């Protein structure tokens, strides 16, 4: 089921293809989890479909194989293993593959996601393909933070923005595709990222979020074992746990900004013991959490980094 919020981008691509104005390089700038990768593979179906008048038809073998990421003229480049980086060897293989004649005589398509995960050597290697693209090729880059890409790459791509959908629209799509569930709570944890939510186990995610709130409240109240919790967190769902930490801090910042009534309501809630955290302290911790989230793609000792955050939270309460 096509996400309804992608319809404007889909119509734009469909019109460009019908008019023979398809770019050779497309940069999809997505809000995380808003469907950038979905749109990338829909675009691959569009140009690989064997029924151009109604492309993508969704039923021809080319469309089906592209949807399953199994088309011989579709090359995928993504991060390897637990690494969030795309390496130069992968980009060189992509370039070599795109230079070959298409198996079905039409387009060859390369999808790089997350493109902002390319290291600088990989980005430089990709630039050569962008400067001299083989005929009948389409390169689709998907990135949440395009500013991480060199300006030389950005200038050679046509950009297509995919913003996060409204919460109500995202919940409606999740209910239609996954069935009834606590999707509002899931999106509260993940942000308005319906494609991430669709791939998640709602019950497990909500349970993890509740566990995080309890533990963070305990640390904010002066309790907890920072070393033990950090070691456990570092082995399981670190990005999710940091997202929960960020949400927890954001709740307190919003309460402080909303005024005394909101702070009093927070203090009266079931997770109120950290309501005394000052807005300055909360912002400082929030910056530290976000910095750690952005550095998960580089070699770091996650347990040590998490322990440092928890000790900072406890120290602010002790002060």
Residue pLDDT, tens place only, 44-70 = 999 999 998 899 999 999 999 999 999
Residues 262 and 314 in one domain: yes
Q: Is the pLDDT of residue 151 over 50?
A: yes
Domain edge (last residue) among 163, 185, 213: 163
Task: Give percent helix, percent strand, percent coil of the chain, each to the nearest 5.
Answer: 60, 10, 30
Residues 148 and 20 in one domain: yes
pLDDT tens, residue by residue, 228-264: 999 999 998 898 899 899 888 888 887 777 765 544 5
175 occurs within a structural domain: no
- Enter the tokens of residue 85: 């980086």
Q: What is the CATH number of the domain that holds 9?
A: 3.40.50.300
Residue 270's pLDDT is what? 42
- Enter the tokens of residue 30: 């997505």
Residues 292 and 244 in one domain: yes
pTM summary value: 0.83
Residues 140 and 282 in one domain: no
Residue 268's pLDDT is what? 52
Mean per-residue pLDDT over the chain, rounded: 88
**Rounded mean pLDDT, 220-227:** 87
Q: Report whether 35 contacts 5 (CB < 8 A).
A: yes
C-alpha–C-alpha distance, residues 318 and 213, integer Å = 19
pLDDT tens, residue by residue, 194-210: 999 999 999 999 999 99
Residues 21 and 123 in one domain: yes
Residues 133 and 21 in one domain: yes
169 occurs within a structural domain: no
Q: Is the pLDDT of residue 83 over 60?
A: yes
Residues 20 and 157 in one domain: yes
C-alpha–C-alpha distance, residues 112 and 79, integer Å = 9
Percentage of residues of the chain with pLDDT beyond 90: 65
174 occurs within a structural domain: no
Strand, coil or helix: 85 = coil
- Across 244-269, b (16+ Cβ under 10 Å) vs e yields bbbbbbebbbebbeeeeebbeebeee
Residues 159 and 205 in one domain: no
Residues 219 and 116 in one domain: no
186 occurs within a structural domain: no
Residues 221 and 95 in one domain: no
Give 28's pLDDT tier (boundaries 50, 70, 90).
Answer: very high
Q: Is the pLDDT of residue 115 over 60?
A: yes
How many domains does the structure of the chain reveal?
2
Range of the domain at 305: 201-318
Place of tokens 């019109």: 15
Domain edge (last residue) among 163, 186, 219: 163
Residues 158 and 22 in one domain: yes
Give 276's pLDDT tier (boundaries 50, 70, 90).
Answer: low
Give 179's pLDDT tier (boundaries 50, 70, 90).
Answer: very high
Residues 19 and 120 in one domain: yes
C-alpha–C-alpha distance, residues 95 and 88, integer Å = 11
Residue 172's pLDDT is what? 95
Q: Is the pLDDT of residue 71 over 60?
A: yes
C-alpha–C-alpha distance, residues 46 and 52, integer Å = 8
Domain edge (last residue) among 163, 190, 224: 163
Q: Is the pLDDT of residue 94 over 70?
A: yes
Residue 163's pLDDT is what? 95
How many C-beta atoms surround the C-beta of residue 33 within 10 A? 22
C-alpha–C-alpha distance, residues 190 and 185, integer Å = 9
- Enter the tokens of residue 144: 């949440």
191 occurs within a structural domain: no
């Amino acid at each position: 089921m096509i996400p309804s919020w992608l319809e404007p981008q889909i119509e734009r691509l469909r019109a460009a293809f019908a008019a023979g104005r398809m770019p050779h390089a497309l940069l999809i700038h997505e809000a995380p989890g808003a469907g950038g990768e979905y749109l990338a593979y829909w675009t691959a179906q569009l140009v690989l479909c064997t029924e151009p008048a109604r492309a993508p038809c969704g039923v021809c073998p080319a469309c089906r194989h592209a949807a399953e990421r199994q088309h011989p003229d579709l090359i995928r480049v993504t991060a390897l293993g637990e690494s969030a980086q795309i390496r130069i060897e992968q980009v060189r293989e992509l370039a070599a593959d795109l230079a070959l004649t298409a198996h079905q005589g039409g387009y060859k398509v390369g999808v790089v996601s997350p493109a902002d995960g390319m290291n600088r050597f990989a980005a430089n290697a990709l630039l050569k393909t962008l400067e001299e693209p083989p005929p009948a090729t389409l390169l689709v880059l998907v990135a949440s933070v395009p500013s991480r890409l060199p300006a030389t790459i950005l200038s050679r791509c046509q950009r297509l923005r995919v913003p996060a959908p409204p919460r109500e629209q995202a919940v409606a799509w999740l209910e239609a595709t996954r069935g009834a569930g606590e999707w509002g709570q899931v999106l509260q944890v993940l942000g308005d990222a319906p494609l991430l939510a669709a791939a998640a186990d709602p019950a497990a995610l909500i349970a993890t979020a509740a566990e995080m709130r309890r533990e963070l409240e305990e640390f904010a109240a002066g309790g907890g074992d920072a070393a033990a919790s950090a070691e456990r967190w570092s082995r399981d769902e670190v990005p999710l746990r940091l997202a929960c930490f960020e949400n927890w801090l954001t709740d307190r910042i919003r309460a402080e900004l909303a005024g005394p009534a909101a702070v009093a309501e927070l203090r009266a809630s079931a997770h109120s013991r950290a309501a005394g955290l000052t807005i300055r302290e909360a912002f400082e911790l929030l910056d530290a959490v976000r910095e750690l989230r952005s550095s998960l793609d580089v070699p770091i000792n996650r347990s040590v980094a998490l322990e440092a955050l928890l000790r900072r939270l406890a120290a602010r309460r002790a002060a």
